[in-house]
Amino acid sequence: MEIHQSAYSLKETASQAIDAGDLNQALHLIHDFVELIFTDPLCTAHVFGSKDLDDLCQRIGKINLIDLKQKNVAEEFSSDVQPFFVYIVTRIQNSGGHNRVIQEFINAQPEAQHVILSTELAGRSAADYFLTECKTRTNIALKLPPKGNYQQRLTWLQRCLLEINPKKVYLFNHHQDSVAVAALQPEMEIDGSFYHHGDHHFCLGVYLSHLEHIDPNPAGYHNCRNELGIKNTYVPLTIEDKGPRPATLPFLHDDILTTCTAARSNKVEIPYFVSYLDLIPKLLQATGGKHIHIGRLTPWARYRINRSLKLYNIKPDRFIYSPWVPSIWKALHQYKVDLYIASFPYGGGLTLIEAFGAGIPVAIHKHIFSRILSCIDLGYPNAFNWRRPEELLSFCTTVTADQLNDMSKFARRQFEQFHSSQHLSQFLNGEGNASLKPNLLAQRFTIDADEWALWVTRQSSFKQLIYRLFYRAFRLLRARLK
């Protein structure tokens, strides 16, 4: 990966490649530059997008489209009976909230035809998983590009858009996907929306002015509107209702606290002033209870947790590790979870919504500098939040079954009021209150400037620099192998 001395030099180099007709090289340069930034923890929740890079992507896409239009492209899939909806993605995965949001969009319009177009710039899609999930649905198709370079994938993607002639296109690209951001051009006259799911990292597409900009959480909505100056639309996170907590499932079953966190390594194995890997064993030591982790962790992370369990003489079966479950919602009930501890340092919005719907009380971490990473603005009124480990430990060792029962009711009410699937269906179909507004930002969030300054200073140490290099190398290698 080429490292430029400045963003200006990157833009100049990319522009020169475009002028020379090397669109593939320009797409590569932009892709690699964004990947370099969003894999650096110091840039997280500080750098959100670049109008210049989005403009470069659009310039590339326009040049490529002019050449493509000179070749007669037939409309293969367009229909007057059933409208087509297209979802442009970088990769279909078998876990994470990204796929489930797309499924919610599809479920909200069951009479239409839905086509998912993947650029595969972040590795191969889990096509078998997708086909298994959708085997009973005849109105859903997944199309993957033939092998080729970035410009060839752009040509394929634009050709698909011209052939399908969709009623609506939703852009669900990964942060670095220059091909997806270049593809959708104003000249196509296609109604499109950019779904800003990568809202706490640098992401291409944020400044595409010809697309509707959708933000799915209050903090991201206010940041884009008030800080970045983007005219945006709020569409709350929604998920299918799988039922409240069963009345026959008491809290503090067997007089122990059962906690749970659902997150992959990219949300909890992050350099931060408090470590999830170190805190969970301490939590188990303090409560004498159980903790369930749902989501794939690296072997190193699992080793660290198991090593601490032995150090504190905690039986291994009190920490339950499940890399993947079909439904987090159902798993919360099956494991008899009393308290959902939201992932940190990066919060996960959709899993938090599932906990609400399942009637599970939550503990939300207040990030030391970013409310977007905290997710506290998604919480129900008076939801427990913590910043320092001792606050979480104190709460978990003193909370009662009656308190948990009251919190459960608040969580379920929050889901029913704001996050059930009917809200998304009403928005997409123009029914009810289609013009939704997010709640005001939580007043209880403050920045811990001293802790943040000390943490940044520590990142300059040799040990942390080595850790960040290994972390970035791991992220890049994993993306290429998948």
- Find how far residue 190's CA is from the centre of its chain: 25
Does 405 fall in a domain? yes
Please, are residues 107 and 240 in contact by the beta-carbon 8 Å criterion? yes
**Are 8 and 155 contained in the same domain?**
yes
Both 457 and 418 in one domain: the answer is: no
CATH of the domain at 284: 3.40.50.2000
Eight-class DSSP state of 121: B
| Contact yes or no for 2/32 (Cβ under 8 A) | yes
| Closest by Cα among 278, 279, 262 to 360 | 262
8 Å CB contact between 410 and 383: yes
Overall number of domains in the chain: 3
Residue 292 φ/ψ, nearest 5 degrees? -110, 130
CA dihedral for 308, 313, 314, 317, sign (positive or negative): positive
- Please indicate, yes or no, if residue 432 is contained in any of the structural domains: no
Task: Identify any residues that bridge with 260 across adjacent strands, giving them in sequence order.
Answer: 292, 340
Domain membership of residue 221 (yes or no) is no
pLDDT single digits (tens) 236-266: 999 999 999 999 999 999 999 999 999 999 8
Does 334 share its domain with 284? yes
Nearest Cα neighbor of 414 from 442, 383, 446 is 383
Strand, helix or coil for residue 123? strand
* Structural domain contains residue 117: yes
What is the spatial distance between Cα 230 and Cα 221, in angstroms, rounded to a whole number?
9
Q: Tell me, yes or no, whether 235 lies in a domain.
A: no
Domain region containing 392:
253-424
- Residue 482 confidence (pLDDT): 47
Strands 362-365 and 113-118: unpaired
> Could you give the C-alpha distances from 249 to 119, 163, 319, 478, in angstroms and in order?
45, 53, 21, 40
Q: Is the dihedral of CA 272, 234, 212, 137 positive or negative?
A: positive
202 and 74 in one domain? yes
- 38 and 84 in a common domain: yes
Does residue 370 form part of some domain?
yes
Residue 56 forms part of a structural domain: yes
Tokens of 189: 């006259």
Same domain, yes or no: 174 and 300: no
In a domain, 131, yes or no: yes
DSSP structure string for 241-292: ------TT--SSGGG--EEEEE--HHHHSS--SS-HHHHHHHHHHHH--EEE
The ranges of the chain with pLDDT < 50 are 78, 482
Specify whether the backbone of 243 is left (phi greater than 0), alpha (psi in -120 to 50) or beta.
left
